Structure 1
Amino acid sequence: MSARFRFTIAATDGAARTGGIEMRRGTIATPAFMPVGTAATVKAMKPADVRATGADIILGNTYHLMLRPGAERVARLGGLHAMMGWERPILTDSGGYQVMSLSALTKQSEQGVSFASHVDGSRHMLAPERSMEIQRLLGSDVVMAFDECTPWPATHEQAERSMERSMRWAARSRAAFDAGGDHAAGAALFGIQQGSTFADLRQRSADALTEIGFDGYAVGGLAVGEGQAEMLRTLDFAAAMLPATSPRYLMGVGKPDDIVAAVERGIDMFDCVLPTRSGRNGQAFTWDGPLNIRNARFAEDREPLDPGSPVAGWSRAYLHHLVRSGEMLGAMLMTEHNLWFYQEVMRGLREAIRAGRLSGWAEAFRARYRVRLPVPA
């Protein structure tokens, strides 16, 4: 592990764990939710307000930042932290998923992925070595290995080929990261498990990553269209295959009920655009389930979204008006509420694990949130 990265587990409850990740820019309480700051900004939020919701770490996106303003420019401006005014840890993804999902013209090879920018059509090559270089220029605290995101659905043969390439890229990512000098000494590198929904491939991937050695391990290739039930069935075996002494990160997840179920299965870290994207589009997450504030029934509702919310000073009726009118303040307040709610869910999970009552907490959460999920295997 990096000299400036330490993961501790303070308590467990079944497969769930709570603890912290100590890094040079601060401690991340786990289980943790990372707001997504794709283009060096958590949309509709100032950094201090993101921190005030309870976020210990945010996520930046290698693909978007390499295209604009450019990783070299970010480095000249002092790095991502200085440029955006966020002093705590930042995790950057590798860019692999966006290359394959956003670019119209891609060509994959053993070297990497050649693609056309979705911004201006310019051609680029993203390979493990370039991904590590970009994340180093950004000054990321947690760097993600470059991988191939296996599409859904995939046959066993397709998933196997994709997973094996990702493992070869993981080894190249490790070597390129370690050559990063001072940045490597102060940052952490996470490997990404692949294998789609096949247990044997997930095990082979976990074994390969463990042999290479990483500070943390992500479960990749889920939340790509397989549905919640299949995702949770895969997590029933995939999470436990990863080292118990390292943090486990489920990429791109998810809805509050997804997160609760994944924590029950041993996941420690999450990210998702849902709280910010949904907020901008008029959906609020609450303990009683999601609310579409655009609905006419809120037009004269004087109650807040939640009495404890940082936007409790404004009524649902006012938020309804702002969102329906397309006012910028509506997106800002709805986003702030959603990020706060996600952090409240994480806080509740951590407290329940410490108290040894996660099962009861999760059951009560689901009953009020009105969802029924399969229990962990």
Structure 2
Amino acid sequence: MTDFPFKITKTEGRARTGVLSTSRGDIRTPAFMPVGTAGTVKALYTSQVEEAGADILLGNTYHLMLRPGSDRVARLGGLHKFMRWDKPILTDSGGFQVWSLTGLRKMTEEGVSFKSHIDGSSHFLSPERSIEIQADHLGADISMQLDECTNFPATYEEARSSMEMSIRWGQRSRDAFGERETQNLFGIVQGSTFEDLRKQSAEQLREIEFNGYAIGGLAVGEGHDRMIEVISFTEPHLPKDRPRYLMGVGKPIDLVEAVAHGVDMFDCVLPTRSGRHGQAWTWDGPINLKNARFIEDDSPIDETSDCPASRDYSKAYLNHLFKAGEYLAPMLLSWHNTAFFQSLMSRIRLSIEAGEFESLRRELNGKWRKTVEK
């Protein structure tokens, strides 16, 4: 497999900063990937996402294969052209979304048969089909192996069986992907909260040889502290010269603590989902702009921010927009949250480069610890 150009520039403890080089540009790590579920980061132009500081977006295989259809995206020039995003794109395999279709899916060794949540039509997703959609149809810069997401809580035997299925599917994904000059494939470590299973999964995936390694199966109900514990005992078994990606995470405190344990990449729907519901993430913690206390608050969310949504609109105005049901409300707040998450990653990178990450970590934990179980 073609080597994935990943240069670590500075470390502080397990935390590290670096650069992932791709044919469509460099990705500064630690990196947070805004989620473009249906070919869009909800409520935002791609230019706003780029101006916020994002180097890479995440595309959703499951949703795009159902609508408008991955073959159609391919005929229209691929996902980058389709959504007007020239920078790198990572696509998930579709495994998580199919796993969430309780009662609408049937999993076998060959793959997953499922019914569309849109119109009930029947579909089949195998490791080979997932790679075809991601790499060939959508044109992803980074594709993910198809894995079996493990239920939580799970017994040891359930977790072991699920993890071993993901290993076999990882090998099939790797075989289907082959050798590609400008595209890359990541494996996914599973094993629930069991240390020996996580170790086994990581070691077997290393033998298959992927360009990068994701930690999957977390943020599914185990809680912040248990999640960090799993990351802590998984990370030592991952290659140090390859990027580590924590899937589907998370709150700002999750990002800070995961970076402290060696994670390089993240994705989560939280910035735009929070924005649609009136929640703004700030350096002092989250605030709800729908609350009555903001009715006459003429201050912006963050007057020091480079983001116009954060700097130029008052909390009173945002409160009014939400109360009036105006489209502009979630647009502005999603923009703010997306910019805030990118600012957080920039601040983390700068602190690691300066040898001051632990100081930043203590400061932010003091402000954000209360958000852990909320």
* Structure 1 unmatched runs, 5+: none
CA shift for structure 1 position 234: 0.8
Match of 1:175 in 2: 175
The CA deviation string for residues 48-105 of structure 1, in whole angstroms up to 9 with x for no partner, is: 1100000000000000000000000000000000011000000000000100103641
CA distance in 1, matches of 2:2, 2:281: 37
Supply the distance in 2 between the matched residues of 1:369 and 1:101 (Cα, whole angstroms).
29
Q: How do 1:1-377 residues align onto structure 2 when only pairs under 5 Å count?
A: 1-2=1-2, 5-102=4-101, 104-136=103-135, 137-178=137-178, 184-309=180-305, 310=307, 311=309, 312-371=311-370
Contact kept? 1:103, 1:117, Cα under 8 Å: no
Q: Percent identical across equivalent pairs?
A: 58
Q: What is the aligned-residue RMSD (CA, Å)? A: 1.2
| 8 Å CA contact retained: 2:36, 2:60 | yes
Task: Name the amino acid aligned to 1:216.
Answer: G
Q: Distance in 1 between matches of 2:165 and 2:265?
A: 25
SS at match of 2:321: helix
Asked whether the equivalents of residues 41 and 84 of structure 1 are also in contact (C-alpha less than 8 Å), the reply is yes
For the residues of structure 2 that align with 1:48 and 1:104, how far apart are their CA atoms? 39
Structure 2 gaps of 5+ residues are none
Aligned length: 368
What letter corresponds to residue 143 of structure 1 in structure 2?
A: S
How far has the Cα of 1:368 moved from its partner? 3.0
| CA distance in structure 2 between the aligned counterparts of 1:155 and 1:368, rounded to whole angstroms | 36
CA distance in 2, matches of 1:324, 1:111: 50
Shift in Å, 1:324: 1.7
Paired with 1:83 and 1:305, the residues of 2 have a C-alpha distance of: 33
The residue identity in structure 2 corresponding to 1:214 is: F
Report the residue type matching 1:252 in the other structure.
Answer: G
Alpha-carbon separation, structure 1, partners of 2:160 and 2:361: 35
Retained in 1: the 8 A contact 2:271–2:337?
A: yes
TM-score normalised per structure 2: 0.96
CA distance in 1, matches of 2:221, 2:367: 26
CA distance in 2, matches of 1:308, 1:339: 16
Give 1:370 deviation, angstroms.
Answer: 4.9
Q: CA deviation at 1:185?
A: 2.0
Q: Is the 8 A contact 1:366 1:372 kept in 2?
A: no
> How many Å apart are 1:188 and its aligned residue?
0.6
Output the amino acid matched with 1:301.
D
1:2 Cα deviation from its structure 2 partner:
2.8
Which piece of structure 1 moves more, 255-264 or 320-329?
320-329
Hey, what's the Cα distance between the residues in 1 that align with 2:109 and 2:371?
43
- Aligned AA (1:348): R
Letter of the 2:253 partner, please give it: D
Contact 2:285 2:371 in 1 (8 A): no
